[in-house]
Amino acid sequence: LVSRRHKSEDTIIRIKHTEFGGTSHVMIAGPCSIESRDQLLTVAAALKNAGVTVLRGGAFKPRTSPYDFQGLGVEGLKIMKEVADEVGMVTISEIMSPSQIDTAARYVDIFQIGARNMQNFDLLKAVGQTGQPVLLKRGLSATLEEFILAAEYILYNGNDRVMLIERGIRTFEKWTRNTLDISAVPLLKQETHLPVLVDVSHATGRKDILLSCAKAALAAGADGVMVEVHPNPQASRSDANQQINIDEFNTFWKGLRDSGFF
Ligand code: PEP
Ligand code: MN
């Protein structure tokens, strides 16, 4: 069902005035985790002002260690809805289990399925039974075939509003958190009709090469880019090393606009 052989034309997902997979690129930005209303509103207002339409932020966080910040949960989703309604943005937040779907559906526009849950088949089936858009992340060590088949679960269960996002894979390289697999972009575009995006923050885990990686992704045919932005990254409760501040975002954004990608 995800294959170009099944459907040749690009799938376009429209949410409010934003189109994923259409003729223009989409920027998804926001903090790794929602930490407070003040934190999210500060970022959202700055992003909206810059012309960004999609706000990200985690409320249910899949942390490697149980001792790390686990996210604000439903409280975080409520903050997200309040802030997004105030500034007028489309929202995206991760869900980790089928039991979170009904609640999350009340507060966010797009469900994110994280890398660690790419093959959580019960979750894939459950979001497939909703009509809500899903952003599916590539698993930490997933092949493109496994990635595409995970998306297939969602369409097979009835939901065709699915977007794929490359977020780097595990290799032996240590200078980046993950290895950005640029070849995934043209291959996923060739094999599937779904929108394809690239998360440059999790792919690299660093701030200094985000612009080059985003340009590479868009030049390779990606429909959009995701980047983590926090008002004060050093003080953030997750992914402190890779999040950029608002000034850094504005420089990154200008670089992409100057190159004609937005
Ligand atoms: C995230 O986007 O917040 C996240 C946890 O990313 P990933 O699932 O790609 O590691
Ligand atoms: Mn993160």
127-181 pLDDT tens trace: 999 999 999 999 999 999 999 999 999 999 999 999 999 999 999 999 999 999 9
Q: What is the ipTM of this complex?
A: 0.98
State CA 185 to chain mean position distance: 15
User: Is the distance from the beta carbon of residue 62 to the nearest atom of ligand 1 less than 6 Å?
Assistant: yes
* pLDDT tens, position by position, 30-83: 999 999 999 999 999 999 999 999 999 999 999 999 999 999 999 999 999 999
What is the pLDDT at residue 229?
98
Give, rounded to a whole angstrom, the gap between the first and last alpha carbons of the chain: 30
32 CA: nearest ligand 1 atom? 3
SS3 218: helix
What is the pLDDT at residue 222?
98
Q: How far is residue 112's CA from residue 193's CA, in Å, rounded to a whole number?
A: 19
CATH superfamily of 13-258: Aldolase class I (3.20.20.70)
238 CA: nearest ligand 1 atom? 3
What is the band of 122 on the pLDDT scale with cuts at 50, 70, 90? Answer: very high
Please name the residue that has the structure tokens 């926001």: 30
CA atoms within 13 A on the CB side of 188: 34
pLDDT, average across residues 248-262? 98
What is the band of 2 on the pLDDT scale with cuts at 50, 70, 90? Answer: very high
What is the band of 113 on the pLDDT scale with cuts at 50, 70, 90? Answer: very high
Task: Show me where the domains of the chain are located.
Answer: 13-258
Q: How far is residue 57's CA from residue 54's CA, in Å, rounded to a whole number?
A: 10
User: Distance from the CA of 131 to the center of ligand 2, in angstroms?
Assistant: 26
pLDDT, average across residues 92-104? 98
Inter-residue contact 103 to 74 (CB < 8 Å): yes
The DSSP-derived string for 18-30 is EEESSSS-EEEEE
User: Distance from the CA of 12 to the center of ligand 2, in angstroms?
Assistant: 26
Provide φ and ψ at 38, rounded to 5°. -60, -45
